[in-house]
Amino acid sequence: MIELCVEKSLHGVSGDYRLEVDLRLAAGEVVALFGPSGAGKSTLLRMLAGLVPPDRGRIKVGDTLWFDSTKQICLPPWKRQVGMVFQDYSLFPHLNVRDNLRFALADKKDLKAVDEMLALTGLGNLQTRFPASLSGGQQQRVALARAMLRRPQVLLLDEPLSALDHVMRTQLQDEILALHRRFGTTIILVSHDLAEVFKMVQRVCCLEEGKIRDDGPPLKVFSPQHMLGRWQVHAEVLAIVPLDVLWSVTVLMGNQITRIVASTDEVHDLRAGDKILLFQKAFHPMLIKIP
């Protein structure tokens, strides 16, 4: 059980705002933080890790109080049993893969744990390589293995896969899920990718300007209530071309590009780049813009 109840004044692009979050996670839960840049998602993770102190509040993980402003408790990051994976991997450039993993050991002699983790993540044949000679995906795999060796009570993933290509991303998503199944670690994932959120988590918290606006299963959070039960798919508008009395809209769904026909009403406030929801009404697909 993780209790995260924090407040902090933040400086965003559009002015100052207050981060006010009260979140409870069950042990072993996988939760996504979703929201626009500068909403406070990363700050929230950094508060849990102890890298940024909240102005006020309380963070309790399991039976341990990590932060409590009323009791003047604030554990430094190295006393919190937490794993963190950064977007830019943050491997130690002067250590090879094996030594990067060994660095995470609390007990320096527990080399068996390192070997196990190397085998588990398929890094065995890369163990003497240095980070600079690894691909992005390999580096992130090392970072993940290193974070797990700390045996964290909570694993914080700050957009860990956003710098990777689609194939690598899918592979690492599977590996994170496999690690979760094996160790049962509670995971908080910051992500901008809807597909990733749907695949990885059972619960998503939408953060906007420092407040949680929505909290629930991804399907419920991202689909308007009245639309439930119908065929529907998220897409992005690429182009809108007039077609006699109708319009032809080219949309991107995942990696697929499709052209559909739409009425003037449907396209009047649409522009290329808009996110839309496609759904089936009677016989042909219709679309509405997602605000």
Interface contacts to other proteins, rule CB under 8 A: 49-51, 76-80, 82-84, 86, 88, 90-94, 103-104, 106, 132, 146-147, 150
| CB of 91 or CB of 134, closer to other proteins | 91
Q: Kindly state the smallest distance separating residue 102's Cβ from other proteins, in Å.
A: 11
Rounded to whole angstroms, how far apart are CA atoms 154 and 61?
A: 8
**C-alpha pair distances (Å), 80 with each of 67, 189, 229, 269, 274:** 10, 18, 44, 49, 42
CB 215 within 8 A of CB 59: no
| CB of 154 or CB of 267, closer to other proteins | 154
| CB of 114 or CB of 206, closer to other proteins | 114
- Residue position matching structure tokens 């597909």: 195
Rounded (10°) CA dihedral 157, 158, 164, 170:
40
| CB of 98 or CB of 234, closer to other proteins | 98
DSSP states along 12-63: ETTEEEEEEEEEEE-TT-EEEEE--TTSSHHHHHHHHHTSS--SEEEEEETT
Rounded to whole angstroms, how far apart are CA atoms 98 and 27?
A: 30
| CB of 78 or CB of 283, closer to other proteins | 78
Q: Kindly state the smallest distance separating residue 94's Cβ from other proteins, in Å.
A: 5
Q: Kindly state the smallest distance separating residue 194's Cβ from other proteins, in Å.
A: 27
Q: Kindly state the smallest distance separating residue 131's Cβ from other proteins, in Å.
A: 10
β-strands 2-12, 56-61 pairing: antiparallel
Q: Kindly state the smallest distance separating residue 215's Cβ from other proteins, in Å.
A: 26
Q: Kindly state the smallest distance separating residue 86's Cβ from other proteins, in Å.
A: 5
| CB of 93 or CB of 291, closer to other proteins | 93
